[in-house]
Structure 1
Amino acid sequence: MTTTPMDRRSVLARSAALAGGATAAAAGLTTAAAGPAEAAPVTAGKPPSGAGALIGPHDPRYPLLTTGNNQRYVAAPEYVKMIRSTADAEKALRTAHRAGKRISVRSGGHCFADLVCNPEVEVILDFSEMTGVGYDPSRRAFYVEPGARLLNVYEALYKGWGVTIPGGICYSVGAGGHISGGGYGLLSRAHGLVVDHLYAVEVVTVDKRGTVRTTVATRDRNDPNRDLWWAHTGGGGGNFGLITRYWFRSPDARGSRPEDQLISPPSKVLVQAVDLPWADLDEAKFRRLLKNFGAWHENNSAPDSPYRHLSSLFNVSSRAHGSLGMFTQVDATVPGARRLLDDYFAAVTAGTGLTARPMTKANGEIPHLTDLAEPREMPWLNATRMVGTNNPTITDPMSRAAHKSGYMRKNFSDHQISALYRYMTRPDFTNPDTMLVLFSFGGRVNAVAPDATANAQRDCVFKMTFQTFWPDERDDAFHLDWIRGLYADFFAETRGVPVIGGRTDGCYINYCDNDMADPAHNRSGVPWHTLYYKGNYPRLQQVKKRWDPGNFFRHALSVEPPRR
């Protein structure tokens, strides 16, 4: 999906009366399937009206809507159907199913693989115009529509009610896919995954007879449709039906006031952004630095750790970039916040001789932040905007990219660090927009049982994304060979992938990678679905059997119905 510009003049409403002004990304829509309301939902923005456009090959918008954030993947569908409501989604699904069309589903367009845009797709159903965010008193929960971009969700929830969800950094990711795959970000160590706060989901499904219906499934124990809710707590997008709305209420929420139903972010955070220049590193210092990072997270990722209020994003960039980059955020309202931050940086750099240098240029997800080598306190939402919006590598509309992932239960092995150093310093590799991103994990994420949600990785300490970006199609083979070579070497001890075991714990479905289903790259004998879902996959298959028995919703890494 492509990125739409944000309008910072959006004004939020706190009553049933709609506030003026807004962008498409702050628009609201009351769903007909929400049940009898005690009061009208409070909505951000102005609702779109009518059915969404039908965009064919001769429409000037067609080239824009047949690719996404990664320009490697382009589709040639018969049409793109823009969806504006649940009723619109029902009609679009009924039409495509009756015609026997192969569909794909898009909310934000950040899909890392070709699950949305590929040559087999005949119809793309695009939810980027369903962008409502608001409060539904009938459910005592906040709703988010699938096309809402993450930063707009944060803006609406926080300005309207002082609450948030612990979601991701990149501002333009769509809520639809981010949530269904689990969803996490800088607040997850303190508050868990996004889906740990998911109360309900509205899904449009189709059975074998072609009957289209809309179901609201909740986490309530007596809900006969609870399995459909569970499948959307990490089961991935495009698997079971069309998601038209999510509702959020934290499991420990009490009372009836909206502001008590969901977590509140810190009023202020302490942030630091530093460069660690390659010129100051040799292989021994590089090894020590990475070992320090892994050891710190092994020792400080328990659910009750005082460091759960601290989260760090560490870009181990290629030597061609010039430096490694680290962004760290800690809740400034907790006692000793500055000490927590200083102790973390000291632990990671111990024995290396490295000092905090200003971040002089953007580094992957981390923007150009020259004034934060010395930690600075700022309002949480300002920090979220700062990190999320000014990030030219991730949001470059010319970008071609490759991504791979892994969860880590323990520190790096010596072999893994040697492989990483060798590939990141290879003399023939001159692409500066390349990095292994290390994300702090654990904390309250690990307080949830592996089968309580579909997201099964619940005892990890950090997670990783291997990624490289380039602009020219002629360089595809070189960059794919490079990243595949690095990944295979990094996980050579487990035959090319992060198998479920003592050190590694599989992959993250939101960082989908078709290579995991290819025995040429996954030589472990472990099925791709075990890497992503572990022991939860058979249960996901049963949900698939019930809600999509005809396997109409499918892609290269979709949940498959059980064979019997």
Structure 2
Amino acid sequence: MAAAFRALPVLAFCLLCLYTPTAFGSSSASSTDFLRCLSSSIPSNLFVTQSSPSFTSILVSSIKNPRFFTPSTVRPLCIVTPTNASDVQSTVLCGRRHGVRIRVRSGGHDYEGLSYRSVSPGEVFAVVDLANLRSVRVNSAQATAWVDSGATVGELYHAVAKGSNGRLAFPAGLCPTIGVGGHFSGGGFGLLQRKYGIAVDHVINAVLVDAGGRLLDKNAMGRDVFWAIRGGGGESFGIVLSWQVKLVPVPPKVTAFIVPVTVDHGAVDILTKWQVVAPALPDDVFVRVLLMGRTASFQGLYLGTCEALLPVMRSRFPELGMNRTHCREVSWVESVLYVYVGSGDLIPEGDILNRTIPLDGFYKATSDYVRQPISRDVWAEIFTWLAKPDPGLMILDPYGANIGGVPESATPFPHRAGVLYNIQYMNFWGAGDDEGPHIRWIRDLYAFMTPYVSKNPREAYFNYRDLDLGRNVVVGNVSSYEAGKVWGEKYFKGNYKRLALAKGKIDPEDYFRNEQSVPPLVPRR
């Protein structure tokens, strides 16, 4: 367990002695008592209420989708910004005692905003914002690191590269401003996935605050709960404060590349070939595709030099026409920024530490998995969707190699063997635009794709969360296991039931919940 948390179980025990559960409701008395409890339990500068002048600025600080920052948004009673584990424990215990639920955010990228808002107008809840818990502690000799949930993926990458002189990396997502806590909770795939798998494949320990306010490491939480937090969805099993991860080796220089191809120059044919070539390339080659308008942008990473990469691409994927002018030999951290920005310009390595994104783009997203190649004629029709009024974009990430070599049951993330690639659909619009046409575009394209993607269930990636896939139904103050199947089996396939059983062990009263949190399943005795 991380050193900063070693002495805290005693505090947890003392606090638990004071805990008496209260029924959850929306009474003003419960809210007032909860805030009084916070005032007596944590420093006053670590939480703000709706009446505070700084409430809005703190709420907005990590909202990445301003669609969920409007006058109609159901906002939290208060926001807690803990600086240590005991602050989180105290907040949970006050919430349990006075009937106020907790929602948790790390980076604010949640596509449906469920980490800081509620769909239900009557819900009274507080937000624990982990932005102040962002330490990264690298042990290069053992090739491990402890990373707090409030750190961004970019901060993790920067610390790992600096702490290992560029010799080590970590296989997680491409967007550097994603919070580690939410990202790891859903799986975490990115440029290194074909070589090393995904983020949760490399999590070896964690520190969790459960619904009783206890501080638990891997051994204390037990095998089933430790399995569940590694990809089973955030805010279902407790609040993960810190993760210990195993790092992976990378060369001092890698090759990043971007090859844009328009429809007029053969994008349809090249894309049709890509979907069978990309999952079968050597595991140190990753080639994704961004489709927007009439252009397919092939973006990738090779763990080696351009001189070694070009013969592979000319042999395995000559249709792409890749040449030396497309190559950028850079550090691994620079490769993340190069592909993420996608402009063709080299970005200073230090920019990966930038946590801020302006609130200027509303969006909607969803996802699919493809297990059989899609025909050329269908791709040609998909490009007509991308040319419609109010169009969005599609991002295709190849699987195969080592991401598929892990059994589906090894982690809650089940999208493994047999997957060719993942699709992310996105659409963006401005603050003054009518969102209707943009959301319809996504929903209509998603419906059009039905015959061509995975079935029974139609798979989806949890970190591209979409409430269109279903939402929880509360029965007797506990989320319904049966109703949760509608969305849960899309994200988790056959792992959904095991996740619900783990939830039943750690949080049977369903204290930690949102519209797509795992419901508890408690076996009858």
Q: TM-score, normalised by structure 2?
A: 0.79
AA aligned to 2:213 is V
CA displacement at 1:477 relative to structure 2: 1.1
CA displacement at 1:297 relative to structure 2: 3.0
Question: 2:290 is matched with which residue?
Answer: 315
Q: Which runs of 5+ in 2 are unaligned?
A: 10-41, 344-353, 473-483
RMSD: 3.1
Question: 1:269 is matched with which residue?
Answer: 254
CA displacement at 1:332 relative to structure 2: 1.1
Matched, 1:128 2:166: no
Q: Which runs of 5+ in 1 are unaligned?
A: 1-27, 36-48, 250-261, 301-306, 350-354, 358-371, 520-524
What per-residue deviation string (whole Å, max 9, x for no partner) do you get for residues 400-428 of structure 1?
Answer: 101111122221246753552231122x3
What per-residue deviation string (whole Å, max 9, x for no partner) do you get for residues 314-353 of structure 1?
Answer: 111124xxx3322111111599323224445524x4xxxx
Q: Give SS of 1:479's match.
A: helix
Question: 1:247 is matched with which residue?
Answer: 244
Distance 1:273 1:121, change over 3 A: farther
Contact 1:498 1:531 in 2 (8 A): no
Distance 1:138 1:561, change over 3 A: farther
Contact 1:419 1:490 in 2 (8 A): no
**Of 455, 469, 473, which residue of structure 2 is paired with 1:499?**
455
Question: 2:420 is matched with which residue?
Answer: 461
Flag the structure with higher helix content: 2
Question: 1:512 is matched with which residue?
Answer: 465
CA displacement at 1:117 relative to structure 2: 3.1
What per-residue deviation string (whole Å, max 9, x for no partner) do you get for residues 140-181 of structure 1?
Answer: 842000011111101111211232210111111010011111
AA aligned to 1:192 is G
Question: 2:408 is matched with which residue?
Answer: 450
Distance 1:373 1:529, change over 3 A: farther
Contact 1:298 1:411 in 2 (8 A): no
Contact 1:33 1:214 in 2 (8 A): no
Separation (CA, whole Å) in 2 of partners of 1:474 and 1:386: 31
What per-residue deviation string (whole Å, max 9, x for no partner) do you get for residues 77-125 of structure 1?
Answer: 1111112111111011111222211321100000111322334462111
Contact 1:73 1:117 in 2 (8 A): no
Q: Give SS of 1:239's match.
A: coil
AA aligned to 2:291 is V
Separation (CA, whole Å) in 1 of partners of 2:8 and 2:191: 31
Contact 1:201 1:247 in 2 (8 A): yes
With 112-121 and 190-199 compared, the bigger mean Cα shift is at 112-121
CA displacement at 1:288 relative to structure 2: 1.9
Contact 1:33 1:216 in 2 (8 A): no
**Of 504, 509, 518, which residue of structure 2 is paired with 1:559?**
518
**Of 472, 490, 505, which residue of structure 2 is paired with 1:546?**
505
AA aligned to 2:416 is R
Q: Give SS of 1:543's match.
A: helix
Question: 2:6 is matched with which residue?
Answer: 32
**Of 177, 189, 199, which residue of structure 2 is paired with 1:172?**
177
Matched, 1:326 2:282: no
CA displacement at 1:439 relative to structure 2: 0.9
Q: How does 1:153-192 map to 2 (within 5 A)?
A: 153-161=156-164, 162-192=167-197
Separation (CA, whole Å) in 2 of partners of 1:385 and 1:274: 16
Q: How does 1:84-483 map to 2 (within 5 A)?
A: 84-119=83-118, 120=123, 122-135=125-138, 141-161=144-164, 162-206=167-211, 211-217=212-218, 225-249=222-246, 262-278=247-263, 280=264, 285-300=266-281, 307-319=282-294, 323-332=295-304, 336-343=308-315, 345-347=317-319, 349=320, 373-388=325-340, 395-413=357-375, 416-426=378-388, 428-429=389-390, 434-459=392-417, 460-483=419-442
Distance 1:318 1:61, change over 3 A: farther
Separation (CA, whole Å) in 2 of partners of 1:443 and 1:136: 28
What per-residue deviation string (whole Å, max 9, x for no partner) do you get for residues 362-401 of structure 1?
Answer: xxxxxxxxxx853122222222233346889x94421110
Matched, 1:71 2:66: yes
Distance 1:70 1:540, change over 3 A: same
CA displacement at 1:518 relative to structure 2: 6.8
Identity of aligned residues (%): 25
Question: 1:53 is matched with which residue?
Answer: 46
Distance 1:526 1:50, change over 3 A: closer
Aligned residues: 455
